[in-house]
Each structure stands twice: as structure tokens, then as C-alpha cells.
A and B are shown apart, each in its own frame.
Chain A
Amino acid sequence: MADKSFPNPHEVEAIPGTEGWERMYPYHYFFTTKDKEREEYENNMFWFNDALHYPEPMYPFDIIWDEAWFLSLSQFNTRIFMIPPVYGVDHRIINGNVYITPVPVTDPEEVQKRAPLFMERAGYYFENWDKLIEQWEKKMRGIISDLETLEIPTLPAMEDISVVKNGLGTSSGYELIKNYDKLIDLGIRCWQYHFEFLNLGYASYVIFVDFCTKAFPDIPLQKITQMVAGIDVILYRPDEELKKLAKLAVEFNLDSQIGNDTKDIKDVIASLQSSENGKKWISAWDEAKNPWFNISTGTGWYHQDISWNDNLNIPMSSIRIYIEKLKGGHSIDRPVDAVKKERKRLIAEYRGLLKTDEDLKTFDQLHGTAELVFPYVENHMFYVEHWFHSVFWNKMREVAAIMTDHKFLKGQEDIWYMSRSEIKEALWDIVTAWATGTKGYGPLHWPEEVAWRKGVYKIFKEHRPSPAYGTPPEVIAEPFTVVLWGVTNESMAAWAKLKEIGDPDKVNEIEGFAGSPGVVEGIARVCRSVEDIGQLKEGEILVAPTTSPSWAPVFQKIKGVITDVGGIMCHAAIVCREYGMPAVVGTGQATAIIKSGMKIKLNGDTGRVYIER
């Protein structure tokens, strides 16, 4: 049995000073002892902290994406594709942190009944994969375009005469409510599409992994991933655009105009305007912005994960790193041909070691499917978490501006301390007061409430969540749980061990997944978010909760990566494999144990990190 020593979720007490925190989140997210059946269910499940998506506690508004995938992932498993042995993934919140658990189908007869339904339904998707993917991209571009053109109207003292002359029959107040609803709807819809292919994608990947590990018990997971990973993946595109711009700047000899990081983007653009080549460069830069600068500087899951478009100094700073490399005579190109060649070789060599015709057939079937689905697995993130989210957060800021105008909020960024349904109610408060010519109630309620919530959130942030609660299962069938969160016996045992050690100052060794091979020693730099990457010095080892594509240029500076969360497929592991840089991922609590400046050794072959004390 796996380590069963995770605490009972019902025995967790509120952190002093946060009592009443539950009202910040949807009411159905809490563990309860009110009902015996629910209590027992909750006790028997294994709840692990979804720190992959949420390295920080949840903001009341940002939980929208959690609700969205709670519904979407689950519905595709349970109700649409009828995945035989598993329903959805259930969610709870403890002290601001999200805990999730896969829900198995326990009745074997039910599993059997679902199998042919799954075959028919999933079969249709696999058979029509390319066509459906094309349709998906159209749908996604459609809703992103709807989002970009969605107007959040301000409330005028008097409606325009056109309202009368067109016989419009509705007001800006109504439009505001309607478009807020539409904004939320687009977000939820985007997340519906997010999982349209992903569950099947992960299922195909899991079975290929299963075959490979049975045929080659010692095969590192990273090699399996290398055999299916896409090469011309859309997620690399934003970084490619920066490289192109850097090359263009070098070609046009524009580096003096571009200057260094002390020069603001506005001044850079002004300097560039003075020459023909500078103007040409600016038009290339402008062209790259949409959509490629809609890349989040975080995972895109949090409102504070601003995009490159939100702060153009960020991509400019990366371009400077590339310019410097180019001028130093280094190549900044991804070693695409080498990666392609190595991938081909791996496939041929592993395949060549199989002993029976049956195995060759199975390998070809499973590799073929995994390869078919993988581009989606990698690409969907650009559309959803980066492009859509980046635009979405800014639309929400427009809503926040109206609420701030009406004194419901003390500042725009306070809106994230309200839930999406509370915002809707507050907007009703605003529009009815606007319509009636009175004052809304909101200013009496929200600023005070938000101040309290900020205090609670601050306390949440100071507490590291327990990695898991409840009872670990013996078998996990849910493909996401297996792949994405890397929940395996080893990782759970490692988490349990960390928990036992207790005092982070006494830990000398941390275990995670071998994300990318190689051994490296150096000075650690802990970056809790992308905002901290400015502190990174050449040749340091990055220690982060997780990384995302907007961290890409950082990989030019560092010599190794350690993350708290993520399996073999996480961003850090993928990028490090390309750069041939060691990585240990999914360590659970590296950012809590390692401090900047510590001398550490990371072994990407074994997944171990050693701390010199």
C-alpha cells in the first residue's frame, strides 16, 4: 500500500485570522461532516493539492477557471466519451488551496457497459481527428475574436440619440450586464473546448507510456515523450518571433537604438522611428504582437500573469538577451534538425529492440496515435491559457474600471477578490442605481469586504498547503491524474517523506522526476514568479514553482531547472530537453526548501537534488 499517512481533510482547522474564509469561494467546494455519506466519500478519496495549476492560493475571481475545468474535464470523461473506468475529477478547497481527486467507476458492470460506448465515441474522434482539430481551431479563433471585439460599455449620463432613432429599446446598463454575462460565457465556453481533445490525447499518451515501460522497464519517461513530442509546436512560436526580431535588429545594426534594459519600450520605439530600418523593424515588431505576444508571463491561470502585450518591456528585454548572444557569435536557433534526428533515431532504436511481430504492430499503433494527438496536447495551451486568458483578464479590468468609477472598488485590481457571481450582483447594483438615479449599496459593502479578503489572502499565502489529504488509491485510471500531475507511488511517497521531515532547514536531498538528463552544480535562484527572473544571474540554477513559455529566454542564462510541480511533460522538462540542460521537476516543495544563494547539485538522470549546507 502507498503511504496512508495523509491527514483527514475534515480535521483541518482554519488558520487564525481567516475564520469565515469560506465565503470567498463557491459553497460546494468545502469538506463537510454535515452528511455521513459525503463525509465518508471525502475520507475515502485521495485529495492532492493541484499546485501544478495553482502554486498560489485562489483568488475569489480566478477560481472561475477551476470551476470551468471542474465541469469540462469531468463531463468529457463521464458524460461525453464515457471513459469506462473513470468519471470526473472532484474539487475541494482548504484554506484557499484547491484539492482534487479522480472519481473511479466502482461497479465493474458499469465499466463493461461503458466500454463499447467509449469505443464508438472516442473512435469517432480518433478517426476524424484532423478534421475535428481544424474545426476546433476555427471555433477557438471565433470565440477569441468575439472576446476581442466584446465591448464593456460605460454608463453615460444620457444615452446617445441613436438609441432613440434606431429604436434600440435597450440601455447601456442592460448591455453592461449582458456583455459581462457574455464575457463569462466566452470564458466558460473556451474551457469547454479546451478538453474536447485533451482527455483522449492524454489517454493515448498514457497507453503508449504503458507499452514502453512494459517493453523497456528502465526507459526514462523523457525518452517516451521525446518519441512523440511535436517539433514545430505553436508554443515555441512567440519565442521564435523574438529571435527573428533579434536577428533583424542585428542585421539592421539597431542595437544602439534598442539600448539596454534601462531604456523603456516607448523610448526604444521613439529612437527606432528615426531611421528607415528602424521603422521596418517596428512594423515587424507590431506584426508579431498579435497573436504571438499574447503569451502569458505565468501560466495564464492567474490574473496577475500579465502577457507580453501588457508589458512590452518583457519581450524587449528578451530580445536584448538574444541580440547579445548573436553578437557574441552564438547561435540562438533551436537545434530543430538535431531534435528531429534524435527523435527519429530513438523511435527506430527502441522499436528495433522489440522481439515479436505483435509488439511491432502494437508499438506502431500506439506510437502513431500518440504522435497524432500530441500536437494538440502541446498547442491548445497557446489558444486557451495564453491568448484567450490574456485578452480576458483585460476585459475584466474594463469591468473593474466601471466598478471603481462607481466606488464599489478602491482600485481595479480589487476585483479579483470578488467571485464572478458577486460581480454580476454588484453590476446589477450599479446599473439599477444608474437607472434610478440613486446611489448603489456596493460602496457600503465591497471596499470593506475586499479589505478583509485581502487580509485573509495574505495569511493564506504565508502558509504552505499540505500536499495531500485522505487515502491514496491503489489504482489510478484517470489519464490526467496520471500524466499531468505525475501522481505515482514514487511522488506520493516522496511527498509523504517531505512532510515527515517537517523542518525544511534540515533537508539535504529532494526527490522529483528526472525531467531532463545531465548533472549540474551551482548556485540556486528561487523565482516564485516570472517577475523574479530579473534577479537571475548567468549560470545559476533556477528553482521555481513551475515555468511557462514566457520564461523561455531565461533558459539561455541558466544551467539547470528545478520545479515544485510538473511531470515529465511540463514546460520546464520539455524546454530543458531541447536545450540539453538538466532538470528535476515535480519535487513537491523545492521552493520551500531551497533558498537563493544555496549551493546545490541537481541530477537530471536520477531526479535528485542535493543541497550543500
Chain B
Amino acid sequence: MEKRSDYVLWFEECDMNSIPLVGGKNASLGELLKAQIPVPPGFAITTKAYTLFLEQGNIRKDIFKILGGIKANDMNSGEAASKTIRALIESTPMNDDLQDYIGEFYRRLSKRCNVPAVPAAIRSSATAEDLPGASFAGQQDTFLWVRGVDGILKHVKKCWSSLFTSRAIYYRTKMGFPHEQVEISVGVQKMANAWTAGVMFTLNPATGDRSTIAIDANWGFGESVVSGECTPDNFIINKITDEVIKKTVSYKTILYTRDPENHCVIKQNVPAERANIQCVVDKDAIELAIIGKRIEKHYGKPMDIEWAIDKDTPGQAKIMILQSRPETVWSSKKVEPVMQARSSALEHICAGLIAGKKVN
């Protein structure tokens, strides 16, 4: 019998070396913890667990047979295959060992958080995902506010099956990525009870400027920012001096929050009195940026980070980093000199004068 650590690992036990086992996203969380970055606690369900599930359920063969039957250029056949595969995965029972490993870790997680049946986020962490230059990000589903062992187990399977959404299938086919090679790990992480949340880039995504940090923020969970459903507040912070150099407070229309009754995520209109209010105070934005700098320094490259400020301690903000991955757009651009090199400052001055300064 294999060890526990083949199937479930605390985030603290993950690092970049464990990518094949826990995927990029979970490995990142481990790395963040190692760099003393505040991350909600949780654990990874490894790719081996997924493989074990396929084998013990005896469904691997069936899946690849269905995939093989997809006709190229036929969207409908892809759609149908996806449906069949996902139903197959979700209806196949998980074996007892796996159930025990996951259940035990979930209970221990709840204990760590001092919450019975702690609400958790279940996220996929594919091994091919989040690698610079191959943004598979967002291809797989994320499930929020899942509570109880049964709920966890159910959604872990949903997460596994989301490896086979028609979009993901189509994407891998287009990128020439063999379906057989894609493995999936799942992260189970304490939900951040976000008062405010959003996205942070350790460069300015609009200009590629690496001397700045850009933060988008909205009330509630970060979903409204990630999905682009709401125009967030935007902060541009000078990375070198930790000053807010530009701030746009937007009229924020909707937010995501938790339904206190059934713990599911609901979309709400932002209460009128908060719509025009800056949702992160400057001080917290700066603190966030400083954490962003540490994350960037840890990885040695520009990063794309999801964050939240905990609801339980408003005013005395508790910043949590939910996800972080390498920035892909500017990082994959060919690096060109800012200005054509010249033999002397005078040559530059002359050329600069001739070019003039555009007023527009």
C-alpha cells in the first residue's frame, strides 16, 4: 500500500518540485507559504489520487475510447463526448482509501481553522496548467463554499471531470497537447471570507511597466473581478517607493458573497451606499503590494495573484493570497531595448530632440 503522501499533501509540503504530483497551482501555494506569504490553509489531492481513481473505477479505457471518437472540426461530437465522460467520472464511486485520506485531511483542516466543517474552495491544479506560455488557466472549474466530507468528495470528482469540459478538450486538441498526458490534482483550501477581493499583477498589465503593481478590487469575492463582470477599483502602486501613484475608484455594480442560509455563492447588487466607495483603503493596497513584491521576488518573475481581505477582521485587514501564477502576456513578449543604443548621450539627445515630444 502506498503512503498517505502519495495522495494527499498539506500545502506546506508542496513546492515547485512537486508540480507533477500536485500541479502548478497547489505547488505555488506551497511555495508561497515557504516565502511567509499569508495563504489560507489547505491541502492538495495529488495526480496519483486521480490516476488511482481512474484505475480503481476502471474507467480510463472508456474515457480515451470516447475521446478517440471525437470527429475533428465537429463541435457537437466534442460536446457530446464531454458530457458522457463527465457523467462517467462523477458517477463512479471513489474507493475507500481515497475517501479516508481526503476525509481525514478535511477534518484536520476544519480543526486547524476552528470551524466545524470548514467551508472550502475546491480547485483543479492541472500539471499542464499555469506554465508560462501555455495559459490553461481557467480551463477547469472551481467550486466554492463546499462544506462537509460528502460535499468535498463530490466536488473533487467534479473537479476531476472538469478536465474534460468541451472547452478543455478543444483547447488541448488545438494546442496539440495529448489528452493522455494531462493529469489533474485538486486543491482543497479554506474559503477566504472575503470582504474585498481581487487580482494583483506585479507589473502594469496595461503597459508592461515592471516598476509598478496593479491591483483590481471589488467588494465580496474575487469572482466579480476575475470574470470581468464588474468594473473594479484600480490601484497603480510604485513598487520602488510603495506609493499609490494612480487610483481609480469605480462605480461597482455587483458583488459575489455567501448566502448565509445554504452557504452557496450568490451574486448581489452592491448596496448603493458602497457602490462609489473605495473598497480597499490605500494603506491596505500598499500592504498588498508589498506582499506582491515578496511573491515576485520569490519566483523571480512577474506574477498574477488573486487575493482577498478577510471579512472577519475588517478595519484591521487580514490579507490572504489565494492564488499566484506567473504573468504570461508581457513575460512571453520578445524583449526589445527601450531605445536604440547609441554611442553617446549626445547622440541620444540629438535624436531625441529631432523626434520631439508628442503633445497627444
Does B243 lie within 8 Å of A369, measured CB to CB? no
A310 beta carbon closer than 8 Å to chain B: no
- Is the interface on chain A under 10, 10 to 19, 20 to 34, or 35 or more residues? 35 or more
Q: Which residue of A lies closest to B240 (CB)?
A: A349
B260 CB, nearest partner CB in chain A, Å: 37
B354 near A85 with CB under 8 A, answer: yes
A165 vs B250: C-alpha distance when bound (angstroms): 88
B249 → chain A, closest Cβ, in Å? 11
Bound: A356/B334 CA distance, A: 11
Bound CA–CA A214/B245 (angstroms): 17
Contact B338 A605 (CB under 8 A): no
Would you call A475 and B353 a contact (CB within 8 A)? no
Q: Is the CB of B207 within 8 A of A218?
A: yes
Within the complex, what minimum Cβ distance (angstroms) separates B209 from chain A? Answer: 5
Report whether B207 and A2 are in contact in the complex, using a CB–CB cutoff of 8 Å.
no
A359 in the interface (beta carbon within 8 A) = yes
A217 in the interface (beta carbon within 8 A): yes
Determine the chain A residues whose CB is within 8 A of the CB of B348 once the complex forms: 207, 211, 362, 365-366
Per-residue CB proximity of B22-54 to A under 8 Å, as 1/0? 000000000000000000000000000000000
**Would you give the shortest CB distance from A130 to chain B, in whole angstroms?**
15
**Contact A479 to B353, CB < 8 A, known contacts A119-B346, A358-B341, A492-B359:** yes
Which A residues touch B347, using CB under 8 A? 119
> Is A111 positioned at the interface, with any CB of B under 8 Å from its CB?
yes
Measured between beta carbons, the chain A residues less than 8 angstroms from B210 are 216, 353
16 more A-B contacts (CB under 8 A) besides A126-B346, A369-B349? A84-B350, A104-B356, A207-B345, A216-B211, A217-B204, A220-B243, A223-B241, A349-B240, A355-B335, A356-B336, A356-B338, A369-B345, A475-B359, A477-B354, A517-B241, A606-B246
Contacts of B336 in A (CB 8 A): 356
**Cβ A218 vs Cβ B345 within 8 A:** no
Say yes or no for A122: interface residue by CB 8 A criterion: yes
Supposing A206-B357, A210-B357, A350-B211 touch, asked if A218 and B349 sit within 8 A by C-beta, the answer is no
Q: Is B269 an interface residue (CB 8 A)?
A: no
Interface assignment of A346: CB less than 8 Å from any CB of chain B:
yes
Contact (Cβ within 8 A) A2 B359: yes
10 A/B residue pairs, CB under 8 Å, sorted by A: A83-B353, A206-B353, A218-B204, A219-B211, A356-B337, A365-B342, A474-B359, A475-B359, A605-B247, A606-B245
B202 CB → nearest A CB, Å: 11
Q: How far is the CB of B322 from chain A (nearest CB, A)?
A: 25
A352-370 interface code vs B (CB 8 A; 1 in, 0 out): 0111101101100110110
**A605 CB contacts on chain B under 8 angstroms:** 243-247
Q: Nearest-CB distance from B33 to chain A (Å)?
A: 27
B316 interface residue per 8 A CB criterion: no
Smallest distance from the beta carbon of A421 to chain B beta carbons, Å?
A: 36
Closest 8 CB pairs of A and B: A477-B356, A358-B337, A217-B207, A207-B352, A369-B345, A358-B341, A475-B356, A365-B345
Q: Is A452 engaged at the interface, CB distance under 8 Å to the other chain? A: no
State whether the Cβ of A488 lies closer than 8 Å to any Cβ in chain B: yes
Q: Is A203 engaged at the interface, CB distance under 8 Å to the other chain? A: yes
B360 within 8 Å of A by Cβ? yes
A218 touches B360 (CB 8 A): no
Q: A211-B339, A356-B337, A517-B243 are in contact. Are A218 and B209 (CB under 8 A)?
A: yes
A606 pairs with B209, CB closer than 8 A: no
B348's nearest neighbour on chain A, judged by CB, is A207
Q: Mark B281-301, 1 if CB is under 8 A from A, else 0.
A: 010000000000000000000
A555 to B308 alpha-carbon distance, docked (Å): 40
Check if A215 is an interface residue, CB within 8 A of chain B: yes
B139 at the interface (CB under 8 A from A): no
B240 in contact with A346 (CB, 8 Å): yes
Which residues of A (487-523) have their CB < 8 Å from a CB of B? 487-489, 492, 514, 517, 519
8 Å CB contact of A366 from B208, B247, B345, B360: B345
Q: Mark B236-275, 1 if CB is under 8 A from A, else 0.
A: 1010110111110000000000000000000000000000
A1-41 to B contact mask, C-beta < 8 Å, 1/0: 11000000000000000000000000000000000000000
